[in-house]
Structures are given as structure tokens and as C-alpha cells.
Amino acid sequence: MTGRVAVAGSANVDLVVGVPRHPRGGETVLGGDLRRSPGGKGANQAVAAARAGGAETTFLGAFGSDDGAEFLLSSLANAGVRTDLVSRVDTATGTAFIMVSPDGENSIVVAPGANSRLSLGTAQLDRIAEADVVLAQLEIPLDVVAEAATARRSGALMVLNAAPSRELPDLDLDVLVVNEHEAADLAGTSGTPEELARILRQRAPAVVITLGAAGCVVAERETVHLPGFRVSSVDTTGAGDTFCGVLAAALAQGRSLREAAERAGAAAALAVTRPGAQAAVPTAAEVAAFATGGNA
């Protein structure tokens, strides 16, 4: 492993059910069998940074004292993520309820549980200060995100995946990652991804807007559109998290933002060809081969 990533974020037990279509308001739809899998934006991204990105990755999150916590910690450990500094709190571990339609699109409701009680102590802040890249999302308290950004060392990068959409104060960021909907929400207007990226550069020196199968837009001094990879989608759950984790790992390893986004796009494309969130995250060897050959 090369490069060090610290992920401050959420961990959820995902309860997933396949549906023929997403229900309208007030409607009941019969689904398939219920599947329980490890998830949460922070945990998913940590798994991606370690397994698909090949970075030394620490996860800083909060768990309850229930079987869901052990389930999630086992998945993180199996991916090679360090969990020695996670917190235990007196509430239920986070849970996400996910519906997946036949075209792979998902709808998600999250009960934050322990994630809303996450705080960073001295040991956690010290680990952040050792990282090359600090990665956070918005399923945890905003003050924790701000504290993580402040704790990074000089020369380290703060990457924020501003998801799910919520009002965001000014934060000391290096890279902001959002999808199209989150970009419009944060910008407070509609527009092309390129237009939104230029607006959002007021929030961070660099912006990445993910576009699903269409690839992503990367905005630094210049704004470029990187095309996506052609794959057959099975389940999009966790694809954005795979992108963010691999992006952070690649940046920690010294790649440029464009190179990191290209590698992250390949990893996310592979992830949508498999069901689940963490279970769908490919290995670094698979990502390297796919990025070169472009075949799932």
C-alpha cells in the first residue's frame, strides 16, 4: 500500500430490496428478498480507498454496541481498513433502507443512529494529521467535517464529498466532489455541469462533478469532461462512494486530480456491474486492468 488516507464518515447497515419500480407517494410496491449488507458513505469510501485504491486507510466513525457494528467492522477489516480508532456510543448503529429497480437505480433513506454522535478525540486528530488525504462526507455532523479539515497537516489534501445535499458552511477544502443534483443544490441554480463546476470553485480550488455513465467533469485551472466507461449496470448503490474512495487514494499516491478522476471512474464503472455497496468494490488490480483495457 502507498499513500495514507483518513476517512471521517458514516457507517450503516444497508437493508436492500429489489423493486419492479420505485413507488409513488402513498403507494405500496411488492419487492424481492431482503438483503443485508455493509454500507454507509464513509465506510464504503474507506473500503474503496483501501481495496480498490491501494492506500493505507483509516476509518474514523461511530458505532453502536449491537450486532450491526460487528458486521460493519468485519467488512472494513476484511478490506484492509484500519479501525483501531473507531468510537462506540450508546445508540443504534446507522441503518440505510435501499430500494433498487431493475435498471440499477436506487432510492435510499438513512437512519443515522451512531453516525450523528461522531466526535474526534486527540488520537483521531493525530491520525488525521498523519494522512496525505483526509476524506469526509455529509452523513456526519458538520462540525466534525470542519474539525477534520483543520487537523490535516500542511501539504495534505481535504476532499469533501458533499453528499447527501444539505446547507454547507464555508469549509477549508482542496477538492469538492458532488453529483449533478448535489452540484445544483450547492450552487443554488441550474446549469450545465461545466457551469456548475465553475460556480462551485468559489467553494474549493478544485471541483469534481460525477455524471454516472457519462463520466465526470473536473474543474481546476481548466474545466474538462472525462467520458465514462461502457458497462452493463446491475446496481448503482455505492458507485459514487467507490469513485470518492479511489479518487482520495490516487491523490494520496501523488496522482494529478485528472489522473485520479480517471482511475476513480474506472473503479466506479466496475462497481455498478456488481450488486451491493462494499461487496461491489473491485480490487486495485481489477481497476488497473479495466482502466487500461476498458472491459468489465
| C-alpha–C-alpha distance, residues 179 and 177, integer Å | 7
- Please name every residue paired with 110 in a beta bridge, in sequence order, or none if there are none: 96
Cα–Cα distance measured from residue 16 to residue 213, given in angstroms and rounded to the nearest whole number: 22
CA distance linking residue 29 with residue 70, whole number of Å: 32
Dihedral over Cα of 41, 47, 52, 58: its sign: positive
What are the phi and psi torsion angles at 79 (to 5°)?
-85, -5
The catalytically annotated residue of 14, 132, 235, 241 is 241
Question: What is residue 72's three-state secondary structure?
Answer: helix
> How many other CB atoms are there within 10 angstroms of residue 37's CB atom?
22
In angstroms, the CA 242 to CA 164 distance is: 15
Of all helices (H) and strands (E), which one includes residue 158? strand 157-161
Position 206: which residue type? Answer: A
- Amino acid at site 266: A
Residues pairing with 15 in the sheet: 36, 97
CA-nearest of 225, 230, 183 to 204 is 183
Question: CA 122 → CA 142, 144, 260, distances in Å?
Answer: 18, 13, 30
Active site residue 103: no
Which positions are annotated as active-site residues? 241
